Amino acid sequence: MTPREAIAGAVERLRDAGVASPEHDAAALLAHVLGMPRGRLTLVDSVPEPAAVEFEGLVQRRASREPLQHLTGLAAFRHVELAVGPGVFVPRPETELLAGWAVEQAQALAAPVVVDLCTGSGAIARAVRDECPEAEVHAVELGDDAFRWAQVNLSGCDVDLRHGDFATAFDDLLGTVDVVVSNPPYIPLEAWESVAREARDHDPHLALFSGADGLDAIRGIADRAAALLRPGGVVGVEHADVQGESAPAVFVAQGSWEEVRDHRDLNDRPRFVTARRTVRGAENPE
């Protein structure tokens, strides 16, 4: 069996199963079992029998809507690769824009202090450290399983990783942070049925759902970031595409913020909100 034949059969099965990107996923799985980049598949004449058997098993699992990244064990995020699997939220491409914003904010400063709340796999913290090595980066994660994945991904990166609740984390950094960034849970509990099976069945619910309107965690971040940031420091928080008005409204209502602005993703959908910590009233952030 040639790679072309193997991929063609897999694409048909994945498409029938409702997988959103069957061509990409089939090629990625075949490249994974052959131990090569996808771009080199055209150089392979035939798929060895052991690899074909492994590929068949992975295609079957993907057709049952197990996340591609769980099958390969890796997720690409900006310029780094992250180890992922059961128990941790798989980072999405949309979040790379928020991470890029955090990198730009950090790079504009000589010795920035950056805090990543709800770090999950450690994706944003790792990206900031990778692209802004002069930054002092801190991260926190509440979930036990996710914390262990973050430990793997941030090992040797000189990131201060802590296990705990973002709402009470980093008392030692109050009023000293330059950039707070977060991809928190933001899905309303009532939206359960609308969530893709890959996320609903495999991502930890702690990383997905956040109260009746999906804004509970964002409200908490608006409060905690106000306490952590120095006057003039900035915060960036991802949200659902239907929260392009409600998420910024959280920061406006909180009262510690100015320059509240929403940002759109590459598909022109509302994706993350940013704000600057006001100087006036900074002595009483909470």
* Residues ≥6 apart with Cβ < 8 Å to 93: none
- Residue 231 is assigned to a ligand binding site: no
- Rounded to whole angstroms, the Cα distance separating 253 from 215 reads 13
- Residue 166 is assigned to a ligand binding site: yes
- Residue 186 is assigned to a ligand binding site: yes
Residue 207 has which token pair? Answer: 């990383």
- Residue 185 is assigned to a ligand binding site: yes
- Residue 49 is assigned to a ligand binding site: no
Residue 214 exposed, middle or buried by CB count within 10 Å (0-12, 13-18, 19+): buried
Residue 144 has which token pair? Answer: 């036990």
- Residue 183 is assigned to a ligand binding site: yes
- Rounded to whole angstroms, the Cα distance separating 64 from 46 reads 26
Single-letter residue type at 104: E
Q: Which residues sit in the known binding site for S-adenosyl-L-methionine?
A: 141, 166, 183
Q: Which residues sit in the known binding site?
A: 141, 166, 183-186
Q: Which residues sit in the known binding site for substrate?
A: 183-186
